Structure 1
Amino acid sequence: MTQLIFLMIFVSTFFQALPAQEGFTPPPGSPLAKKEHPRLFFTKESIGPIKSYIDRYEGENFQRYVNEVDAAFEQSAAAKERNMLLLDAHNFAFLCYARASGLFENYSFAHSAGEYAAKAYEHAVEIDRQKRLPRKWLKEQSHAAIMESPSQGGYINLALGTVYDWCYDQLSLEQKRFLADALYICFQKRDDEVNPRDKAKLGLTLTSQSHDVGIGGLAIWGDPLGEGYAAIAQEMLDGVQWLWYDRILRMGEQLFEGTAGWSEGANYFSGAMTNLIWYVAALSTAVNDNLFERFRWLHDVPLYSYFYAMPMPLEGEFPGYYVQRNDAASLREWDS
């Protein structure tokens, strides 16, 4: 009995001593703080240079891309496998913004911005429907980085978030609320591993499940969606602080400083980094802070991956295969 009382006192004291989780305040002057759209992956200011790059180097490929997306316009979202459903949500949302921006008039589109937005929203509704199924709940998966697989890959939160963000001016208030609710459900159903104080380890599965935290807040924060939504947006946005800044990004910085790094080995590290890169890219533009420059371990990732996956010919023919370097080399071994 004495031991039980002591344990209860210890546990109570321990949890009282834990610091409260800090909230997240959008950096002044950032697209998020100014409540601007788009803010995920590109902004009103950055889309111009992106367009210039496309015109100069990828014009033919971009028109081919538009044609491919247009060719899939009549396909039902409900008939698509997981990866095609998620990626096409991005595709139609981007063409919506491209048309609406007026910057891409030198390319041919088969539909208007409003039509692309409606198609992107159709995909978002199907994503939400599948996510709510009791026995086949669509959720973020550790193999989200496998973009060429129909049944695997894709990111649910980023798909919903970009439909909301890139199609913002084309969506009705009701549609925006629907997307906000869908993102909040992802946040509420997040895996226990991502919660504060549950685990400290970084792992492949964790990096994909972490997408459930933060994207919703980055997408909807500051928008006039009606009563109750401001609190929901702030709750989701706070996860950027307690999960991404305080845990993943800063822990990674320490983990890779002068050590071999990822506890699961180089193979899982490569998959995990792809999951992180997609999220950090969206976060960087929203807060106007290039996190790939600020956190050196992210800056070194392309260098590491380049030397980890060495292309090898298959009987003298290409494409061949990639051989893994399962050694414990430091990320900075190849710095110049």
Structure 2
Amino acid sequence: MVSKNPKTNVLTKQMNDLTLDRNVGKSIQTSDFYINRSEKDRINFARLEKGLLLFIYLYETAKSTLASELTLWDHRLCFYMIKDGTCTKTSDQCHHIHQTTYRQSNLCPFWYINKTCKFNSKCKNSHQFEEVSKYHRYLRTETEVNVYKLIRFIRNFAGHYIESVITDQNDQQNLYKDIIISMVHIVHFLSLKQPDSIEHLNLFLEAATINQLIPKEDLLIELDKPYDIPSIFFDLSMNFNTYWYQNNTNKQCIDFNQLSSEFITFFNDIFTGYYEGRLKSRGSKAPWREHSKKT
């Protein structure tokens, strides 16, 4: 689907003109970002574009499969269809989606409809989705849902972010840091790769930008740790036209090691498609493949 947003369209067109940065990559820093760094080391929006082009592709390719699975986690399915399989309203009259085979008779209506319940743990009904794996192939846990939402946020950021809205320079730099770190984690865990290698990061992201954040030798160790991501990145109702980001606001911890093999394999194929369709013709080598060596 082609976006109506001019900025998204420009970035999408630029996919055909991507060039590879062959610099040796270094990783991200999870704390004390830009401490004692000079003005020349600051990141501008253009340095994010290589990764943003990738995330447009990731989201647009994955959404035909994952968007329908996300409706349950977003509480957009009709509660009565989940509970009983019937609703007194027709699908065109009900404000929620009827197309679901998911059933859970003990689901709490207050928790599902209002996303809160005054009885909390004392409620006789369930405040979680049960047996989701029977109905969802890829979005089976909150971790997978949050990673997919993060991919969607970065794609929307690529198309709708207004640089002038974030007037505080420190906030702006920390926003770019959070975007970059999120992209690095996602690329690392969801793309194919060789063990103990970071070449896949250099293939898909701007290596020089990653270089600013953490020494190469610490990268794999840092990536293996859970990471706190701003909660605003998961808020789909967020308006890019307002001052929406501030550093040190609420964050949500994501442990990328909890992703299922099904979820990872699904995105492995998308990354491979991006490489085959966008990067291979420009002479890049797939870093997850063993290349023959002369002996």
- Structure 1 length-normalised TM: 0.23
Question: Which structure has more RCO (C-alpha within 8 Å, separation ≥ 6)?
Answer: 2
Which has the larger share of helix?
1
